[in-house]
A = this chain, B = another copy of it.
Amino acid sequence: MNTPLQAQFAQRLQNLRQQMANARQDAALIFSLDNLRYLYNYSGEAAYGLVTQTNLYLITDYRFLEQAEDECVSDRIPTKVICRDRDKQSLGQAIAVILQSEKVEHVWFEAEHISVGVWDTIAKDNPQAIFTPSTGALEHQRKSKDAWEVAQIKAAAHIADQALAALLPQIQIGASEAELALELDYQMQKRGSQGLSFVTILGFGARSALPHCIPSQKRLQIGDLIVLDFGAVVNGYRSDMTRSFVAGPASSQQQAMFDTVNAAQQAAFALLRDGVAAQEVNAASAAVLQASKFAEFAGPGLGHGLGIKLHEQPFISPVCRENLLRNYVVTIEPGIYIPQYGGVRVEDDVLITENSFEFLTHAPKHFELSL
């Protein structure tokens, strides 16, 4: 780990330890791989974290030992990497060894990130510990992005912008959803995306109304609506962008859908700033959709936090009780989905700032493709 990064990771760890102290917890078990990346810089699999006020442990096995030692261990945040022989020691036993050597009693655990089956065995192997769910402790921290995290999401969004620009000339009548999605995925990875942010969504015609359309062999026809939702990954951080097009001149209905969705997005943008209620932003956007002739086809929910995970807190919806704060990165993605006809969605990634917001995605929003 390089030195500037060590400072960021030390801060994250300090914040967690403060939360633990406030909750009178001596240790915290970390089961989410996303949280292990956030807290340990670990990007492998099959690992479990244990944090005390003075030590930091990572339990893994031979398959990920070298990677763990390479990624986690640093001068500033010395991580004790434990290599467990899975044939001889259960996860609960490995945890028990640490808890007993640390003489800790009150232990947080990530109840959202461990199965009932595995947890039952861990609890059985640790009858002396008093376990309490740490629900959302790290997810809460992760909502606010530091400068390095924003830079990674920005870099991912830039790759996605560039890949879309490279794809556009290939969107031609007769091309299939699957062909174009594969080409887009290839262009993102050529530009440095580490895999994909998620399985690219690409639908033509009536299939564009499926909010999670998996690319098929369907071929593009003149007049089809096209919805394209995709993202890149840089150092584990994701981008997420949707653009909608029409193959050729838009019908008045299609143009009205596009204009309505854009107006709904603008209504949300106009309110973004440090401290705004997520519900208020959602309501402003929803009001535009509800006032249109497409009211019954509006998608619920407006957006979500974005970072190590594609969908993370906060979730901008009618039931969200949170405010958006500066340094949050969220998507704003209103959509209209008319079954058996087609859909339009536009989605950007934005960084909330003190008085407004900053775009992280920059691809142009032109609707009609000249084919």
Contact = CB atoms under 8 A, between A and B. Distances in A.
A212 B117 contact: no
Nearest to A43: B214
A212 B115 contact: no
B111 A112 contact: no
A79 to B, nearest CB: 18
Contacts of A135: 117
A275 interface: no
A195 B199 contact: yes
A119 B117 contact: no
Interface stretch (A150-158, A182-190, A265-273, A359-367): A182-190
Interface stretch (A62-70, A99-107, A254-262): A62-70
Nearest to A85: B300
Interface string A315-338: 001110000000000000000000
Nearest to A199: B195
A78 interface: no
B66 A339 contact: yes
Interface string A53-66: 00000000011101
A189 B195 contact: no
Chain copies in the assembled complex: 2
A62 B211 contact: yes
Nearest to A200: B195
Nearest to A64: B212
Contact of A111 (B63, B115, B190, B212): B115
Contacts of A62: 211, 299-300
Given A62-B299, A182-B189, A211-B62, A319 B114 contact: no
Interface string A170-199: 000000000000100110011000010001
Interface in A110-157: 111-120, 133, 135
B300 A87 contact: yes
Contacts of A66: 209-210, 339
Given A182-B190, A211-B63, A116 B133 contact: yes
21 contacts: A43-B214, A62-B299, A63-B211, A63-B212, A64-B212, A66-B339, A67-B210, A67-B212, A87-B300, A87-B317, A109-B116, A111-B115, A111-B120, A113-B115, A114-B116, A116-B116, A117-B135, A182-B186, A182-B189, A186-B186, A195-B199
